[in-house]
Amino acid sequence: MVEFKRSVCPHDCPDTCGLLVGVEDGRVVSVKGDPDHPFTRGAVCIKVSHYPERVYSPLRVLHPLKRTGPKGKGEFQRISWEEALDTVEQRYREITSRFGAEAILPYSYAGTMGVVQFHAGHPFFHKLGASKLDRTICSAAVDAGFEVSMGPIPTTDIESTVDSDLIIIWGSNTVSTNMHAWPFFLEARRRGGSIVVIDPYLNRTASQADKHLKLRPGTDAALALGMMHVLIGEDRVDHAFVSEKTVGFDRLKERVEEYSPSRVEEITGVPASEIRQLARDYGDARAPYIRVGWGPSRQLRGGMAVRTIALLPGLVGATHKKGGGITRSTARAFAFNKEAVLREDLASPGVRTINMVQLGQALTELNNPPVKGLHVYHSNPAVVAPESRRVIAGLERDDLFTVVHEHLLSETVLYADLVLPATTSMESTDIYISYGHYYLQMARPVIAPMGETRSTQAIFHELARRFSFTDDCFYQGEEETIRELLQTDSPYFEGITFEKLARGKPVRLSVPDQIFSEDFGTPSGKVEFYSQAMAGQGMDPLPDGTPSVDEEGQGRFRLQLITPPRHQFLNSSFNEVDYLRNQAGRPTIMIHPVDAVSRRIEDEELVRVYNDRGECYLYAQLTKDALPGVTVVEGLYWPRFMPMNQGINQLTSQRLTDMGRGCAFHCNLVEIEPAET
């Protein structure tokens, strides 16, 4: 008989779905949405509906393995846990005595959004004295930019947007990447509102919107300044709000003079009439709302782009209107006692920090000491990190000792010296936050661990014992860690207890209905059109509309390339599910017919896409969905599923964004030619 058990989707996605997992004879047989979850309401995405195929994938790693062939080949032999952990201990001790513990680098990201497992390596690597990792690959730039304007605060509850009469989706492919927001936006539309998408291409979301502004990548700040030019010029500004809740309006007013709609049309490619119209609609709306995605921030000037977008609500008082406002992330409300898992107190003072975006550089150039030990978990850097050629060159180094803790024989595993088998969320305990809604949920295992798999926490505890670390944190289980995390005095956690969470249902944080009712989180407590903090760092204190350009390719490669997510994958995850890979189809590059003709490229033809950083092969898809000069590649296919085994991150750069030191995944110049030449 099938029994349904509550669980939570662990993947890196704003929606953090409540799940009902069908279990029969100790096996997961189905995964459905939990209808009792107030935000995700019984729906799951196409990816997670195929979860059993991930848990029981033929590529699942079930035993510790050690490498027997050359790096990259994926030839392994089964070993015992004892041997595996003894080897890790022995190699880390050797590296530490010859090069110092800083020669060891942990590399992890959000393979699981479970707060306990996500952080389970932090105390161990701090205590060991290893290099620290700056986890910037996703939201560092978007957060930094947003926070200059509004501060590090939680933002508009998507559930409240049903009362908005104008929804602007700015650089988010919501239908694919935040799908549970979409029904709320549709409800707003049913009540008379309209949906506008600002995106370089006609993605799934734009094709279902009322209006699509198709801009050149990297020009969002100019577009937002053009809107402000019209709002201020035509006096569609909420003056009471501006004087009470913002600073620097007069300076902003001067700055926006430079951004007339016709000049902004030249920069962005969006017709001046459309810019004017959107500004008027925004100024006239009863409750205008903006959903800022990550897209605008994945540019070299991405921080400034998001900072500028985040100023628009300040001009019209949108944050204080029911149904209006702006959503960046809700994560700030999950204000746990984070020190319980971060354990910065165990770190050695002055230990170096390595930016995860620059893994390629760290593995091939860094010295004093070089990276000699790499410990990868919850991430697949051979696919997801930029400038793959450099990353792979590093992973191939014979003198690098690489440990990978994984569910699957992933691309990164191919380069591992040791592979440690990992439990999935179905097999472990954790507590899950969300960055798209305000519900906290705990999950316990629904099946026993497969094979010899172990959780991240279990492995680091074993290693801590081998190194004779005695701190309590190395000896407490998941539930004790959760109890410690809950020891917070944040008002958002009022009434939230371990016992309540332990029932397994989603629990709403105690966030106010009017999320912006308190001060903004900036130094002045107001929306900062002018930022003294930016001036203090020698940066422009005002928003600046200079577009982002891939300077490494300027003048030689003429096509812009963006690399956003694909509907059927979650970053590089779900490549292993045959059904989803078939649904995703062949890896394609969208090219405007004008650009194709001049390069003698035909529809569906295999093309070589290249720049100085690397090359990859894709099938041409001729389309007018983006402007001439702009190309689009959706999705992170594992290189083994790409023609010539080269992934899309061959073409992306390790250069850091203007704020937050993030990655400019959508800021690339490339050239394309038919593959045969």
Ligand X SMILES: Nc1nc2c(c(=O)[nH]1)N[C@H]1C(S)=C(S)[C@@H](COP(=O)(O)OP(=O)(O)OC[C@H]3O[C@@H](n4cnc5c(=O)[nH]c(N)nc54)[C@H](O)[C@@H]3O)O[C@H]1N2
Question: In the complex, which residues of this chain contact ligand X (CB under 6 A)?
Answer: 12-13, 109-112, 117, 137-138, 170-173, 176-177, 198-201, 203, 217-218, 220, 293-296, 298-299, 377-380, 384, 405-408, 410, 422, 456, 562-565, 567, 569-573, 636, 648-649, 652, 665-666
567 binds, among ligand X, Mo ion, none (CB under 5 to 8 A by kind): ligand X
C-alpha dihedral sign at 431, 379, 40, 178: positive
The CB-of-350 to ligand X minimum distance in angstroms stands at 28
**Which of 44, 28, 40, 8 shows the shortest CA–CA distance to 117?**
8
Nearer CB in complex with ligand X: 103/209: 209
Nearer CB in complex with Mo ion: 138/426: 138
The residue at minimum Cβ distance from Mo ion is 138
Measured CA to CA, the distance from residue 18 to residue 9 in angstroms comes to 7
Nearer CB in complex with Mo ion: 138/315: 138
Helical (H) or strand (E) element with 432: strand 430-432
Nearer CB in complex with Mo ion: 55/138: 138
From residue 46, alpha-carbon distances to 32, 348, 378 in Å are 10, 45, 22
| Interface region with Mo ion, contact rule CB under 5 A, candidates 48-56, 130-138, 318-326, 419-427 | 130-138
415 binds, among Mo ion, ligand X, none (CB under 5 to 8 A by kind): none
**Which of 175, 224, 223 shows the shortest CA–CA distance to 195?**
175
Using CB under 5 A as the binding rule, whether residue 138 contacts Mo ion is answered as yes
| Interface region with Mo ion, contact rule CB under 5 A, candidates 136-144, 318-326, 474-482, 531-539 | 136-144
**Which of 575, 411, 417, 449 shows the shortest CA–CA distance to 64?**
417
| Interface region with Mo ion, contact rule CB under 5 A, candidates 28-36, 90-98, 133-141, 336-344 | 133-141
Task: Report CA 264 to chain centroid distance, whole Å.
Answer: 29
200 binds, among ligand X, Mo ion, none (CB under 5 to 8 A by kind): ligand X
SS3 59: coil
CA angle, 622 then 624 then 630, to 5°: 85
Using CB under 5 A as the binding rule, whether residue 616 contacts Mo ion is answered as no
The residue at minimum Cβ distance from ligand X is 295
Measured CA to CA, the distance from residue 319 to residue 289 in angstroms comes to 8
Measured CA to CA, the distance from residue 154 to residue 506 in angstroms comes to 19
Nearer CB in complex with ligand X: 33/317: 33
Going by the DSSP 8-state scheme, the letter that residue 205 receives in this structure is T
The CB-of-138 to Mo ion minimum distance in angstroms stands at 3
> How many residues does the structure list for the chain?
677
| Interface region with Mo ion, contact rule CB under 5 A, candidates 138-146, 285-293, 507-515, 586-594 | 138-146
Helical (H) or strand (E) element with 133: strand 132-134
Nearer CB in complex with ligand X: 533/549: 549
The CB-of-607 to ligand X minimum distance in angstroms stands at 18
The CB-of-565 to Mo ion minimum distance in angstroms stands at 8
Q: Pairing mode, if any, of strands 166-170 and 194-198?
A: parallel
Give me 597's structure tokens: 């003709």
185 binds, among Mo ion, ligand X, none (CB under 5 to 8 A by kind): none
Nearer CB in complex with ligand X: 242/577: 577
Task: Report CA 120 to chain centroid distance, whole Å.
Answer: 20
The CB-of-110 to Mo ion minimum distance in angstroms stands at 7
Using CB under 5 A as the binding rule, whether residue 331 contacts Mo ion is answered as no
Give me 221's structure tokens: 């700040």
Nearer CB in complex with ligand X: 96/412: 412
611 binds, among ligand X, Mo ion, none (CB under 5 to 8 A by kind): none
The count of residues interacting with Mo ion (CB under 5 A) is 1
Measured CA to CA, the distance from residue 423 to residue 122 in angstroms comes to 19
651 binds, among Mo ion, ligand X, none (CB under 5 to 8 A by kind): none
Return contacts of 470-479, CB within 8 angstroms, 24+ apart: 471/123, 471/127, 471/343, 471/346, 473/123, 473/340, 473/343, 474/123, 474/124, 477/429, 478/116, 478/428, 478/429, 478/430, 479/429
570 binds, among ligand X, Mo ion, none (CB under 5 to 8 A by kind): ligand X
SS3 420: strand
Nearer CB in complex with Mo ion: 323/564: 564
The CB-of-571 to ligand X minimum distance in angstroms stands at 3
The CB-of-362 to ligand X minimum distance in angstroms stands at 16
379 binds, among ligand X, Mo ion, none (CB under 5 to 8 A by kind): ligand X
3-class SS shares of the chain: helix, strand, coil, % to 5: 35, 20, 45
The CB-of-592 to Mo ion minimum distance in angstroms stands at 28
Nearer CB in complex with ligand X: 228/242: 228
CB atoms within 10 A of CB 445: 17
Nearer CB in complex with ligand X: 172/327: 172
572 binds, among ligand X, Mo ion, none (CB under 5 to 8 A by kind): ligand X
Nearer CB in complex with ligand X: 221/318: 221
The CB-of-12 to Mo ion minimum distance in angstroms stands at 5
564 binds, among ligand X, Mo ion, none (CB under 5 to 8 A by kind): ligand X
Nearer CB in complex with Mo ion: 178/457: 178
The CB-of-177 to ligand X minimum distance in angstroms stands at 3
The CB-of-254 to ligand X minimum distance in angstroms stands at 25
**Which of 522, 542, 547, 539 shows the shortest CA–CA distance to 253?**
542
Nearer CB in complex with Mo ion: 255/437: 437
DSSP 167-189: EEEES--HHHHSGGGHHHHHHHH
In the block, tokens 């033929």 appear at 58
Alpha helices for 322-407 (secondary structure H): 339-342, 359-364, 381-384, 388-395
Measured CA to CA, the distance from residue 587 to residue 539 in angstroms comes to 40
170 binds, among ligand X, Mo ion, none (CB under 5 to 8 A by kind): ligand X
Measured CA to CA, the distance from residue 302 to residue 306 in angstroms comes to 6
172 binds, among ligand X, Mo ion, none (CB under 5 to 8 A by kind): ligand X
The CB-of-139 to Mo ion minimum distance in angstroms stands at 6
From residue 258, alpha-carbon distances to 223, 254, 270, 513 in Å are 12, 8, 17, 38
Binding mask 208-247 toward Mo ion (x if CB under 5 A, else -) reads ----------------------------------------
Nearer CB in complex with ligand X: 361/524: 361
Measured CA to CA, the distance from residue 198 to residue 264 in angstroms comes to 14
Q: Which amino acid is at 658?
A: D
Residues 6+ apart with CB under 8 A from 508: 38, 438, 439, 440
The CB-of-652 to ligand X minimum distance in angstroms stands at 5
Give me 464's structure tokens: 């801590």
Nearer CB in complex with Mo ion: 84/138: 138
Give me 313's structure tokens: 């609500």
Task: Report CA 551 to chain centroid distance, whole Å.
Answer: 24
449 binds, among Mo ion, ligand X, none (CB under 5 to 8 A by kind): none
| Interface region with Mo ion, contact rule CB under 5 A, candidates 134-142, 281-289, 385-393, 590-598 | 134-142
Residues that bind Mo ion (CB under 5 A): 138
